[in-house]
Structure 1
Amino acid sequence: MKKSILKSYLMWILAVIISVAGISVPAHAQTVGNIRGKVIDEQGGALPGASVKIKGTNKGVSSSTTGDFQLNDLQPGNYVVTVFYMGYSPVETNVELKAGQTLVQNIRLVASSVALKGVTVSGVIEGQQKALNQQRNADNIKQVISADLMGRFPDLNVAESLQRLPGVTIGREQGEGSTVQLRGTPGGYTNININGEQIMGTQELGQRNAQLDLIPANVLASMEVIKTLTPDLDGDAIAGAINLKTPTAISLKPQLSVDLGGGYNKLRNNSNGIGNISFGRRYGATDDMPNGKLGVTVSGSYYKTNNGYDEINAQAWQKKDFIGNKDSIYFPTDIRLVYLENERTRMGATTTIDYSFSPTTSIVANLTFNSLDNDATRYRKRTRMQTANTTFANGVYTTTRGRGYNEVLDRQMRNSNINFSLEGETMLSKVKLDGGIFLTASNFDQRAAAFNYITGNVPLTITDISGDYIQATGSTDAKNNAALYNYNTIEANDFKTQGRNVVARLNLTYPYKIGDNDAYFKMGAKVKRMSNKRFRPSSTFVANYSGPAGVGSLNNFKGNSELDADFLDNNINFGLNVDKDATIDFFYNNPSYFTQNADQKKISIDAYFYDAQENVVAGYLMNRIQFKRLMLLGGLRVERTDVDYDAKLVNQDKDGFLTSSVPVNSKYNYTKYLPNLQGKYDLAKNTVARGAVSFGYSRPNFNDLVPSRVVSILAQTLTDGNPDLKPAFATNYDLSIEQYLSNLGILSVGAFYKHIDKFQYNSVINLTGTEFPDAAAYKGYQYFKAYNGDLAKVFGVEVNAQTNLTFLPGILKGISLYANYTYTHSRADALGRTKLRLPGQADHTANGSVSYTLKGFTLQGNLNYNGAYTSTLGTDDATDVIRAARYQLDVNASYRITKKLTIYAEGVNLTNQPQVEYFGERSRIFTNTFYDFSARAGLKYRY
């Protein structure tokens, strides 16, 4: 039934489009013509974002990322085509257009000798030039990073490249940037697209936003951060969208680039290596298509490193009055030391083939594959002091019933993403039709087993519960005395997450005039089927050691007496660790010594499962009018979503035993109406003002919606789904002014305001046993659940400055500056609390970069700053989890030996800044993680 409804919607919209497209085609075919071509530089390279206009009229377009442009609906006659591109001398070309003709006219530009005043144009400036031209001519507010500009920074993946832009904050995984947040909103409020369509996230917790450490920056042509959505873009993105564009061949000359490098990671004293290659060329030039009918480009990237992290965390704090005067404090009941070593391998490849059947009809096919493998060994030590039996006297917290844990985790994670797209466009007289089909498939596969040794009751003490390096010690040396520990529990945490997005879209563009003003009307339809499935395979289990105590003693499985004396940046030592190989071999060679808990296995498998399907039908209408200096774009987008979720509702008794596992299904639908108005006004030749009023929404994460419960025994966490979650809905207001500088720079300031209703947030509390039926079985566990807040208001200001100091005398001309700063303020109501900061919103984010170029040598220093923000809401300010502010200093240098060969060196996180989270107050540590610095050096060859 659902499929037939979707089909009916699509067929109805297509019929309307086809009927409109057919109006007056025969008559117009005899009169109007088109001018198309490519804007290129002196070497034949594409110049994206060039302004191409018919002189004396308002008709104009911007060249695409491949440099292509097309001026449609022109009467026969003589025209002067003008092309403006910052950093190049303007060009005027005379053309004669005949009735019904599509005239192909490539336009070659020459670099301006004035713009840079004799400064050598480096890859840094070329990248800045392309990005600014695309940004200058866009209809909406966005930032663009070209491939050349990405190479300006020592960033290996997409997330790390994006962190350099205004309003962007990132989360880290294994020391690398991984997830992205825009303008102080949660990560799920930003769509991550490849070639215009959304990648489905496959994170363990069901987040919609894809992890971007999966995708190497080297296989892309450019990235766009779209901050105001137009009606022809998906509306389910309150913060905006990030669009990753794959490369397309641009020249009849073969273009080849090769990068090879190697380096060193300080924390684990191991090496890293990187290799990138790309090739592109066009073929089959004719008189009608002088740039060739066929284009082929292939890119590949490989990166391998041995890294890791050191961490201390105290993620369970309980309140108690220790001295009987009703002055309660929070006490850390579970302190953990974590030493992780990891082998990380990232691969990416993309192939694009485009073919032009005629000057007005073409197709483009792209296949992109990315994979990220992590093979990790984690050593973890825990000390637990239950608040109930801990006392305080003479400045010392003491318990006689403490516990020590010594664990080893063996984990393999395989994350992959494949994207296929087939797009095409054609002209039916003055009507342009474009569309395509898209498939993105993401998979995350984890195989992990944690092996745990535990003590009996041991005496433990803490003298200071504040600071970043708290420790529980005792007279028995529970940290290192192997005789106290016995084999206890094995938990196999295996799971798979699969995401799919299948899309078909069709657009129609109809140009016309309103008086002397050029305009176009655009309409389109899209259907997409999004799915996200998570499950545990049968290899999942929980097993308890039931063999002889002496055989299971840690004395028989000791690793190093001191795993790392320089642990946590030399602040404390790790001490004794478990021998991983001996521990695992013993388990597999002595199955009779271990008892698997069938109840816990079924609970773990059934509670983890969900299968979510969302079918979306969308249509839009929009109109764009270009007056002399003013552009207005307005329209309406309508999106209907049909939801179908399957899960299993697991029930347990007070002792944690399974009582029932019942399949559950949830079906519902909703429709969103999204009006949109954007304006752009040329205050002066190089000064642009923009404004927008738009509406958007963001769906809850998959895992947060399904009616399931996930319990981790070793981690002592419990996560509940919430099928009553609603999509957040926002009204967005944006305003910006941009001043483009003659020396290829920009000064801009922007402001935004978001009024968000029913925002989603994650809550974490420690269970007391009364929160829900059977909660007593999980007393003391951390309890995670997502809820809808009432209302959130987000206000922000973004300031951006890029400039090349060409006005300075002599060798100082080579100095370039890049800086941006974003201030964000929010107020949100949730959990009966008011005037909260929206989770994920940092007050301050900033970037600064200074580079110097002289005779082929470039040296650059980069500083990135992310302010503090709330990552998880508790019941009050004292129980919120706050991610502390963090800055990172990177440097890179290069020297161009010849026109084609460059050597480079890079250093990342030179000051070894940790990532810190705290519990309510900075003195109460939640997590403190060190990654240390890494360095690389290598060769780049360009042909």
Structure 2
Amino acid sequence: MSKLTPFACAAMLVMTTATAQTDPAADKPTADNPTTKAETPPDTRVVPQVTITGGRQTDMDVRRNSTAAKQIYGREELDRNGDTSLGDVLKRLPGVTIGGRPGRGGDVRMRGLGSGYTQILLNGERPPAGFSMESISPDQVERIEVMRGPVAEHSTRAIAGTINVVLREDYVQRDNQLRVADSIEDGRHSPNVSVTIPGKSGAFTYSLSASMMQNRQHDEGRTHNVDTLDDGTITKDQDIADESAGTGKSIHLAPRLSYKFDNGDTINFQPFLMHNVRDSGSSSTLVQTAGIVAPEYNFAEQQSYNDSTFLRGFGNWLHKMDGNAKLDVKFGFGAGKIDSDSLRHQYDTAGNLLDRFTDTDATRDRSINTGGKYTRPIGRGHLLAAGWDLEASHREQTRVSLDKNGNAQFADSGDNLTADTRRVALFAQDEWDVTPQFGMYIGLRWEGIRTTSDRSAGTVKNTSSVFSPLLHGVWRIPGFEKDQVRASLTKSYKSPNVGDLIAAPFLSRLNSATRPDRSGNPDLKPELATGLDIAYEHYIGRSGIVSAGGFIRDIDNLIRRELTLRDTELGPRWLSTPSNIGHARTSGIELEAKFKLTELLPTAPDIDVRTNYSHFWSRVDGIPGPDNRLDQQAKQTANVGLDYRSKAIPLTLGGILNWTPLTRVRTSTEQIVEVGRKRALDVYALWKFDARTQLRIAAANTLADDAPGSNLVYANGLASRADTVNPTFVVWSARLETKF
């Protein structure tokens, strides 16, 4: 990647030179060129037309005018399909994939990269540990910002990119809104009610948002396990049928308060409270048809209960200063509580109790943060900004795992785990309009993280720091006002999470090479990436765009999980542990088209077209090919969506197809993981009774494809293969929205 740096810098210099030739400053009089525009006869001068429009910029305007590439998806996109899960919204964005099977959500990923490479922010801040974006209702969200390259004011822990979810803001809502919805999956209802109430009293404005929901789900799964020795001996051949059902209840509160002082200062505060309770039951039937190893059980049943509460507060004070300078000071806090327990019974073929396992987990998280940004225009076309971020978090966790005799299942069971994380960051950036055609963004960010953990086995410390120079440029092609080229050269990183550093061991009930125990590694280093992004954009009408881009990420200190067989107090067990293994590279192309058909063909039906396609490549050094790709990275992903508005009646019809092909990755010399093809077709119909009331009928995952996968491990003379199939279901929903 270092070889690409001079070429990227040269490309930006070429753009600067090219645009400088059209710089209006070149027409100023000089000693060698005394001719000025003033000498042009008045009747031959061309006066440019300037159009001034009121109101806020559209989402596409923000994208177009941003120096660093930024995509905005506002309420129109969020409301389009009537989704009840934020994950369903995110999976339709260009280059975004969701881990897990259709309809169940999972990790949000950009550019096909696995968990941890995509930075997820809530109002510009990292959410507390254990918090899931899947749990946020789209009704609580004002807009989603997608940044493919890091910027200095946000953490550069964003090798794949950043998704910033911005909660409701008061200046958008003018009416009270009520939404009542119900969805049906496999015969189970999941009702949802949400309300938004804005208001204003003098200099004080507010927006109160709340939602309540109940979620009922039923899951099934089938697994076929086969373990074979080198001489062909089958040690076990098992069929496992799993089934689970549960009910979850949630309440979300997200008020936003704002006060504007007489001197122009503004203070904003937005707390976010989420409380979830889930009660579920599951069963598992294991049938062993061959093998010399005795099966662990024949039938198992388990009851689980989870209670979690998250409170997060975001605030900022905006102070305007002389010379159009501004000081924006942020402050925030977070608290999280997770309590879970489960009771599992395992029986033999005669119905006799073999084992009883009791697991309890109590986790408490606290955090506090502050930050700020000082911005000031300097000279012509310069907007300088500098700031800081400080964050401190504390976690306490106790896990107790007991067998039927009341004995601990592992040595550290019942220990109190405490972990403290401190993060300090300083940044500076300059957005420079070099000419009307060329803009640059130059940023620097230093970020340091220290994690300390205490438990009976001793104290573990991990310290890392990263310095990230950032360069973005946009060239608006002279003579082609709708076309522009973007380029970025950045440094980013991926830090190990607390769980990978110091988490208590997690035991697998059916321990095997394909279902190992998991533990952390306190000596992990952050992954470091150098990135190059290039994109061409052509804008169509008011809200359309056609773009083509490519990227490269060169990654050092790559983290992968290594599989070992170890002797423990429970006997020989397979264990998965993370470690830094070396170097990797990933690249890709990204295509997007979004436009109204009438903007291309005036006589065409009123149809909105939304489509995108991405193709990814990657290679991990030290792991033999083929398929030595980055973990969990899909090779391709695509979305095709259409929305039709009838002119005769107040009806809108639409749908979108999301596709990801089979993904096969060799994660190490011993292991190959395969995830089956994903296809998700969602459709909807929207009927507007009047300007204030509308009804939306939708069907998600209409194809209801099974979600297959396989895991093959060959180590220590034993080949272990696990093939899984998980059915998925169509989700029907109806949603009534009204303003009052």
The two structures have a TM-score, normalised by structure 1, of 0.68
In the alignment, structure 1 residue 265 sits paired with structure 2 residue 185: yes
Structure 1: distance between partners of 2:67 and 2:235: 54
Please give the root-mean-square deviation of Cα atoms over the aligned residues, in Å. Answer: 2.9
Partner residue in 1 for 2:358: 492
Question: Alpha carbons of 1:344 and 1:710: their partners in 2 closer, same or farther (altered >3 Å)?
Answer: closer
In the alignment, structure 1 residue 596 sits paired with structure 2 residue 406: yes
Structure 1: distance between partners of 2:170 and 2:427: 32
Question: Among residues 313, 320, 325, which one is paired with 1:420 in the alignment?
Answer: 313
SS in 2 for 1:258: strand
Q: 1:717-736 counterparts in 2 under 5 A?
A: 717-736=516-535
Deviation at 1:520, TM superposition (A): 1.9
Question: Alpha carbons of 1:813 and 1:175: their partners in 2 closer, same or farther (altered >3 Å)?
Answer: closer
Question: Among residues 632, 645, 650, which one is paired with 1:853 in the alignment?
Answer: 645
SS in 1 for 2:705: coil
* 8 Å Cα contact 2:630/2:667 also seen in 1: no
Structure 1: distance between partners of 2:487 and 2:724: 41
- 1:70-89 C-alpha deviation (Å, 9 max, x unpaired): xxxxxxxxxxxxxxxxxxx9
Deviation at 1:850, TM superposition (A): 1.4
- 1:491-533 C-alpha deviation (Å, 9 max, x unpaired): 11221334443211122112111xxx31122111121113444
* 8 Å Cα contact 1:510/1:520 also seen in 2: yes
Deviation at 1:646, TM superposition (A): 2.1
Structure 1: distance between partners of 2:411 and 2:462: 29
Question: Alpha carbons of 1:340 and 1:830: their partners in 2 closer, same or farther (altered >3 Å)?
Answer: farther
Deviation at 1:623, TM superposition (A): 1.6
Q: 1:375-414 counterparts in 2 under 5 A?
A: 375-384=279-288, 387-388=291-292, 404-414=297-307
* 8 Å Cα contact 1:386/1:402 also seen in 2: no
Question: Alpha carbons of 1:849 and 1:782: their partners in 2 closer, same or farther (altered >3 Å)?
Answer: farther
Q: 1:661-680 counterparts in 2 under 5 A?
A: 662-680=456-474
Partner residue in 2 for 1:696: 492
Structure 1: distance between partners of 2:427 and 2:534: 24
Structure 1: distance between partners of 2:503 and 2:731: 43
- 1:388-434 C-alpha deviation (Å, 9 max, x unpaired): 46xxxxxxxxxxx6565211111112343321012011122123111
Structure 2: distance between partners of 1:300 and 1:412: 24
Structure 1: distance between partners of 2:462 and 2:419: 12
In the alignment, structure 1 residue 630 sits paired with structure 2 residue 438: yes
Question: Among residues 172, 197, 200, which one is paired with 1:279 in the alignment?
Answer: 197
In the alignment, structure 1 residue 307 sits paired with structure 2 residue 214: no
Opposite residue 723 of structure 2, the aligned amino acid is F
Question: Alpha carbons of 1:332 and 1:802: their partners in 2 closer, same or farther (altered >3 Å)?
Answer: farther
Question: Among residues 122, 132, 144, which one is paired with 1:223 in the alignment?
Answer: 144
In the alignment, structure 1 residue 927 sits paired with structure 2 residue 724: yes
Structure 1: distance between partners of 2:701 and 2:626: 38
SS in 2 for 1:836: coil
Select between 785-794 and 755-764 the one with higher mean Cα deviation. 755-764
Question: Among residues 536, 541, 550, which one is paired with 1:751 in the alignment?
Answer: 550
Structure 2: distance between partners of 1:894 and 1:446: 40
SS in 2 for 1:156: coil
Deviation at 1:644, TM superposition (A): 1.0
Question: Alpha carbons of 1:174 and 1:746: their partners in 2 closer, same or farther (altered >3 Å)?
Answer: closer
In the alignment, structure 1 residue 361 sits paired with structure 2 residue 265: yes
Question: Among residues 790, 799, 808, which one is paired with 2:582 in the alignment?
Answer: 790
* 8 Å Cα contact 2:102/2:680 also seen in 1: no
* 8 Å Cα contact 1:861/1:889 also seen in 2: yes
* 8 Å Cα contact 2:149/2:158 also seen in 1: no
Opposite residue 578 of structure 2, the aligned amino acid is A
Runs of 5+ in structure 2 lacking a partner?
1-22, 26-48, 714-719
Partner residue in 2 for 1:541: 402
* 8 Å Cα contact 2:489/2:533 also seen in 1: yes
Structure 2: distance between partners of 1:141 and 1:742: 19
SS in 2 for 1:150: helix
- 1:436-495 C-alpha deviation (Å, 9 max, x unpaired): 11123333322211111123xxxxxxxxxxxxxxxxxxxxxxxxxxxx221121111221
Question: Alpha carbons of 1:529 and 1:907: their partners in 2 closer, same or farther (altered >3 Å)?
Answer: same
Structure 1: distance between partners of 2:127 and 2:103: 23
Question: Alpha carbons of 1:758 and 1:318: their partners in 2 closer, same or farther (altered >3 Å)?
Answer: farther
SS in 2 for 1:848: strand
Partner residue in 2 for 1:5: none
Structure 1: distance between partners of 2:399 and 2:553: 39
* 8 Å Cα contact 2:412/2:504 also seen in 1: no
Deviation at 1:920, TM superposition (A): 4.1
Aligned length in residues? 680
In the alignment, structure 1 residue 506 sits paired with structure 2 residue 372: yes
Structure 2: distance between partners of 1:941 and 1:374: 30
Question: Among residues 41, 53, 70, which one is paired with 1:142 in the alignment?
Answer: 70
Bigger radius of gyration: 1
> Equivalent pairs: percent with the same residue?
21
Q: 1:697-712 counterparts in 2 under 5 A?
A: 697-706=493-502, 708-712=504-508
Partner residue in 2 for 1:256: 176
* 8 Å Cα contact 2:472/2:488 also seen in 1: yes
Runs of 5+ in structure 1 lacking a partner?
1-55, 59-88, 94-106, 110-128, 203-209, 285-292, 324-329, 390-400, 456-483, 544-594, 648-661
Partner residue in 1 for 2:6: none
Question: Alpha carbons of 1:832 and 1:385: their partners in 2 closer, same or farther (altered >3 Å)?
Answer: same
Question: Alpha carbons of 1:349 and 1:866: their partners in 2 closer, same or farther (altered >3 Å)?
Answer: farther
Partner residue in 1 for 2:249: 345
Deviation at 1:721, TM superposition (A): 2.0
Q: 1:34-53 counterparts in 2 under 5 A?
A: none
Structure 2: distance between partners of 1:789 and 1:300: 46
Opposite residue 340 of structure 2, the aligned amino acid is Q
Partner residue in 1 for 2:275: 371
Q: 1:568-587 counterparts in 2 under 5 A?
A: none
Deviation at 1:811, TM superposition (A): 8.3
Partner residue in 1 for 2:14: none
Partner residue in 1 for 2:17: none
Opposite residue 735 of structure 2, the aligned amino acid is G
Deviation at 1:225, TM superposition (A): 1.7
- 1:852-881 C-alpha deviation (Å, 9 max, x unpaired): 1113201112111123335783543xx322
SS in 2 for 1:92: coil
Partner residue in 1 for 2:536: 737
Partner residue in 2 for 1:585: none
- 1:298-345 C-alpha deviation (Å, 9 max, x unpaired): 11122223211110124564444338xxxxxx8764431111111122
* 8 Å Cα contact 1:441/1:501 also seen in 2: yes
Structure 2: distance between partners of 1:278 and 1:934: 25
SS in 1 for 2:403: strand
Partner residue in 2 for 1:900: 692
Partner residue in 2 for 1:800: 592
SS in 1 for 2:59: helix
Q: 1:741-890 counterparts in 2 under 5 A?
A: 741-742=540-541, 744-764=543-563, 767=565, 772=566, 774=567, 777-779=570-572, 781-806=573-598, 812-830=604-622, 836-854=628-646, 855-869=649-663, 873-876=667-670, 879-890=671-682
* 8 Å Cα contact 2:174/2:198 also seen in 1: yes
Partner residue in 2 for 1:466: none
Question: Alpha carbons of 1:916 and 1:736: their partners in 2 closer, same or farther (altered >3 Å)?
Answer: same
Structure 1: distance between partners of 2:511 and 2:361: 16
Structure 2: distance between partners of 1:359 and 1:385: 79
SS in 1 for 2:413: helix
SS in 2 for 1:237: coil
* 8 Å Cα contact 1:450/1:492 also seen in 2: yes
Partner residue in 1 for 2:326: 432
